[in-house]
Amino acid sequence: MSAKETVVPTMPLSALHPGDQAILAGIHTDPALHQRLLALGFRSGKVVQVIRRASFGGPLQVRIGATDILLRITEAEQITVQQQ
Amino acid sequence: MKRIALLGMPNTGKSTLFNRITGGAARVGNWPGVTVELLSGKILLSGDMVEIIDLPGIYDLHGFSEDEQVVRHFLHDNVPDLAIVVLNATQIERQLSLLLQLKQLELNMVVLLNMADEAKKFGITIDAEKMAESLDLPIFLLSAKYGTGYAPALEAVTRALCYPTPGMAEHLRAQLEQDEHIESEMTRILRHAVQTPARLSDSRTDRIDRLLLHPWLGLPIFFGIMYLLFQGIFLLGQPLQGGVNEALGWLREAAVEPLLAPLPDLLRGLLLDGVYNGIATVAAFVPIIVLFFLFMATVEDTGYLSRAAFLMDVLMARMGLDGRSFVMLLMGFGCNVPALMGTRVMRSPGLRLLSMLVIPFSLCSARLQVFVFVSAALFSPQAAPLALFSLYLVSFAAAILTALLFKGRFPNNEPFVLELPPYRFPTARQMWLRGWHEVTHFLTRASKFIVAGVVLVWLLTHLPTSAAPASADSLAGIIGGWLHPLFAPLGINEQLTIALIFGFVAKEIVIGSLAVIYGLSGDALSAALGQQLDWVQAYSFMLFTLIYTPCLSALATLRSESRRAGFTLLTLGWSLALAWLVSFTFYQGARALGI
């Protein structure tokens, strides 16, 4: 059990600030949402950018490729990223 | 007849394309294996009639959403002779996965890369020939919005229809699970045929969003836009509504009355005051419905609805709703019926039902007429607008209370993940087709209901024939007498009780029926009400009118949209109970305070 830790630590997508870019590391949601996120372009290795966050802890707007997606913080907490 | 299925992801302009190909002559139909209704249209292709079915937009053939299952079941039980797959050229990177999934089904396929105009603006170049070569499928670039690139695509469709219909492999599902294969093929084809700039140009959408989704200005701008929308619907709609009423009144005097003159009195009265007035009531709704949907379609097609959802989501989440529910609640202030129909954009049944439960509390334009009349009769010119404003607050409070009470019963299991499309300007044709479709849909359903309701009201007020119309001896009067013990604690007298029964059919009838009951109209009626009632009784009557259910056509819409009789009864029962409780508390409370 001496698997090496990855050098760059992962963090939840919800922790990014507007304007931050990161690389998608993993999706830890239930299978149905996982499928949906995959189809929306969430694949590990892809670059994701947080465009803005709504006031009072509202949803996030993120951009992957040419697609903009809104998701709540609860969903963003289940997605991990590595900051570049 | 050969059958073509239209497939693609949401936001690909698939429906625009469908409307363009079929010219908007679509009908709603049921299909084997599928529980929802699908739109289909017939067109003439090189001498043969062909049926085109518009399947719901899906992200993924493996998906578990309702739409994704619908598409899977449809393809399984109704193998089309040809599948037209519509992809958004600007998002080709991720949309290719759906195409490859569909390709595995070995359907007869033609691929259309839509929004070629937008892709060009983004600097995305797609070599359709190279892509067609690597996919071994016919591929065409076009723009459904501007109608370019159609001719070669339709030619290919005609040609492809000559091929024999392929059989569908039984183990559809097993075949669909080859994700990894799909992923590697996607990369191969994308590398081969598509060039995307590293960073998309800073588009107009980003600049508009910087203002409209501004952390502080976003919400005020949103409310401003909503306010303008209602003003627009009212300013344009009410003269049109008046015009329709006048035209139908003229038609009645000029043609219908002379035509029915030879009939016996009772039958003539039934046809004129029952059936004809019933149809006129429905027809008067039409201008508002058309305008409402034209405005809705504009807001929706521009992509602003998703922005509104972004802004309001955090507040609505507390009530078990989401951003889209709030937009529909606001739309309900115009008319509840289209707002109820608008909940179709929601996929989670719990979320959709909870939204449908709260929308009927929106103070619609029909109820506004009643409140304007009654508050003008009972309140001073200074107090009347305040009374009216307080009713709007009650309307919001009833919706919030209902959502909070029932959110446990209608769990919203849908994660809020929504695509944010770039702003687009809908074409006039797109909006017209949309409005027309909704109106025909509304008319066919609501007309039967309202006509039946009005006929019933007429019979109640005119039977038995020995009683004077709408008197205490008529059936309506007798029912009013029975219900009186229930309404007396609310300060609502027998005449107002009868008006409430009519208001059940449509709030537009309330003032008219009071006119019949009192045998007075206009100012004389106001004076009579002012003499007979005090403001506490009148306000209690308005509270009950606001809460106790919008109208028969809203109920019919609830029934047909939810497809659940039990839910419709719950809505009805809850709103009646809440109305009674609120009026009772207000009336008895005011009296206890000595007012």
Contacting residues of B for A40, CB less than 8 Å apart: 59, 94, 417, 419
- Judge contact between B169 and B178, C-beta under 8 A: no
Please give the mean pLDDT across all residues of chain A.
Answer: 85
Cβ partners under 8 Å of residue B381, min gap 6: none
CA dihedral B572, B577, B579, B581 (to 10 degrees): -170
Q: What is the per-residue pLDDT for B31?
A: 61
Each residue of B369-416: pLDDT tens digit?
A: 788 888 888 998 888 888 888 998 899 899 999 999 999 999 887 778
Q: Is residue A75 within 8 angstroms of chain B, CB to CB? A: yes
Q: What is the pLDDT of residue A2?
A: 44
Output the pLDDT for position B359: 95
Of the listed ranges B34-43, B176-185, B479-488, B544-553, the one predicted with least confidence: B176-185
Residue B564: count of CB within 10 angstroms of its CB: 15
- Listed range (B33-37, B86-90, B193-197) with the worst mean pLDDT: B33-37
Of B59, B60, B313, the CB nearest to A54: B313
- Give residue B345's pLDDT: 67
DSSP string, B284-298: HHHHHHHHHHHHHHH
Mean pLDDT for B433-439 is 74
Of A56, A61, A72, the CB nearest to B420: A61
Tokens of B93: 């990177």
**Closest chain B C-alpha to A11 CA, distance in angstroms:** 20
Q: Is the pLDDT of residue B445 over 70?
A: no
Q: Read off the amino acid at residue B540.
A: S
Please give the structure tokens belonging to residue A47: 């670059």
What does the angle CA A22 – CA A26 – CA A31 come to, to the nearest 5 degrees? 135
Q: Read off the pLDDT of residues B200-233 as tens digits, 9 standing for 90 and up.
A: 455 788 888 999 999 889 989 988 887 787 677 7
Q: What is the mean pLDDT of residues B107-125?
A: 87
Token digits of residue B469: 């119309």
Share of chain B above pLDDT 70, in %: 86
Distances in whole angstroms, Cα of residue B42 to Cα of each of B53, B438, B545: 9, 19, 46
Count of positions (residues) in chain A: 84
B137 with B96: CB under 8 angstroms? no
Phi, psi of A25 (to 5 degrees): -105, -45
Three-state secondary-structure class, residue B12: coil
pLDDT of residue B335: 77
Mean pLDDT value of segment B132-142: 91
- Residue A56 has its nearest CB partner, among B200, B306, B314, at B314
Phi, then psi, of B431 in degrees rounded to 5: -70, -40
Cα distance between residue A49 and residue A17, in whole Å:
9
Subunit contact A33:B122, Cβ cutoff 8 A:
no
| Poorest-pLDDT segment among B166-175, B296-305, B365-374 | B166-175
Q: What is the mean predicted confidence (pLDDT) over B103-124?
A: 87
Torsion of CA B209, B213, B216, B221, to 10 degrees: 90
- CA-closest candidate to residue B78, choices B42, B37, B21, B34: B34
Pick the residue with more confidence: B561 or B200? Answer: B561
Give tens-digit pLDDT for A20-57: 999 999 888 887 788 788 888 888 888 999 999 998 88
Length of chain B: 595
Asked if B11 contacts B57 with a C-beta cutoff of 8 angstroms, the reply is yes
Using an 8 Å Cβ cutoff, are B414 and B348 in contact? Answer: yes
Q: Which residues of B378-396 are buried (b: 16+ CB within 10 A; e: fewer)?
A: bbeeeebeebbeebeebbe
pLDDT digit string, tens, across residues B304-340: 878 888 888 888 888 999 877 887 887 787 778 878 8
Cα separation of B179 and B182, whole Å?
5
Contact B516, B461 (CB under 8 A): yes
Q: Which residues does chain B have within 8 Å of residue A57's beta carbon, measured at their own beta carbons? A: 314
Which chain B residues touch A32 with a CB distance below 8 Å? 63-65
Three-state helix/strand/coil letters over B133-167: HHHCCCEEECECCCCECHHHHHHHHHHHCCCCCCC
Q: What is the pTM of this model?
A: 0.66
Instruction: Give pLDDT, residue A51.
Output: 93
DSSP letter for each residue of B472-527: TTSHHHHHHHHHHHHHGGGT--HHHHHHHHHHHH-THHHHHHHHHHHT--HHHHHH
Mean per-residue pLDDT, B410-424: 81
Rounded Cα–Cα distance for residues B593 and B500 (Å): 27
Contact state of A54 with B419 under an 8 Å Cβ cutoff: no
CA distance B218 to chain A (A): 9
Q: How many CB atoms lie within 10 A of CB A4?
A: 5
- Interface predicted TM-score (ipTM): 0.88
Chain B touched by A35 (CB under 8 Å): yes
Query: How does residue A1 score in pLDDT terms, banded at 50, 70 and 90?
Result: very low
Label residues B205-236 b or e (16+ Cβ within 10 Å = b): beebbeebbeeeebbebbeeebeebbeebbeb
Query: CA A35: distance to chain centroid?
Result: 15
More confident residue, B423 or B167: B423
Tokens of B317: 């989440």
